[in-house]
Amino acid sequence: MDARRVAAPALIAVLDYGIGNLRSAEKALQRVGADARLVSSPDGATGASGVVLPGVGAFGASSRALRASGLDAVARAALASGVPFLGVCVGFQLLFEGSEESPADPGLGELGGVVRRLRGDVKLPQMQWNRTSPVPGTPGAMLEGEDWFYYVHSYAPVPEGADRSCVVATCDYGGEVVAAVERARCWGTQFHPEKSGHAGLALLGRFVATCDGTTRLG
């Protein structure tokens, strides 16, 4: 009898705060081997070795819904303790201090800077596949070179201070747009990996690989 034990897949909490179709993020993570589960209360995230914060729509509505659900505490706990964290689209924007779209509604403040409306003579929202390019000289685990990802947004973060160095990828849409940031185990993407085919699944697989269980939510 083979006594070797197969490691259990990483438990990843997908924060369900009532904004958008979160099921697609859950299913994409499951497809790359994670034990991904939608959680709608802080207790549901206990023991998770990774946290994903998706989001679509308006920054203000998302910020208010996250706080009302109590899941902002889960996000803050993961970020403070080094549990791998991935913010997607508006979930990425919520990592910043705020947005000019909804000045009265705060973000999580994990990253310095404000989310601003896209500039230039371009159609809004950007709703398309766009070539996404790594920033030279910024090593990280998220990206493995230039690729195409799917975007749906009219706003994007503009990191400030030391957090400008966390930008690991950009795209061009009326000018340079921040596409992704990576700071230690905190990742964020303005594009939707779960809607980006093979490239998106590969990125999610790399995120899941960082969720090794050495740090879990209490």
The domain that contains 184 carries what CATH number?
3.40.50.880
Sheet holding 155-159, edge to edge: 98-99, 113-117, 155-159
89 part of the active site: yes
192 part of the active site: yes
Q: Give me the domain span that covers residue 133.
A: 11-210
pLDDT score recorded for residue 20: 79
Which entry of 26, 101, 182, 194 is annotated as an active-site residue? 194
Looking at the domain assignment, is residue 163 inside a domain?
yes
Looking at the domain assignment, is residue 143 inside a domain?
yes
Looking at the domain assignment, is residue 3 inside a domain?
no
pLDDT score recorded for residue 7: 63
Which entry of 89, 166, 186, 211 is annotated as an active-site residue? 89
Pairing, β 147-153 against β 126-134:
antiparallel
Looking at the domain assignment, is residue 199 inside a domain?
yes
Q: Running DSSP on this structure, what letter comes out for residue 192?
A: B
In 49-196 the beta strands, taken as DSSP E runs, fall at: 50-53, 85-88, 98-99, 113-117, 126-134, 147-153, 155-159, 167-172, 176-183, 186-189
pLDDT category at 2 given cuts 50, 70, 90 is: very low
pLDDT score recorded for residue 97: 98
Looking at the domain assignment, is residue 218 inside a domain?
no
Token digits of residue 130:
């766009």
Which entry of 101, 182, 192, 211 is annotated as an active-site residue? 192
Looking at the domain assignment, is residue 151 inside a domain?
yes
Looking at the domain assignment, is residue 196 inside a domain?
yes
How does pLDDT run across 142-156, given as a tens digit for each residue? 999 999 999 999 999
pLDDT score recorded for residue 41: 96
Q: In the chain, how many domains are there? A: 1
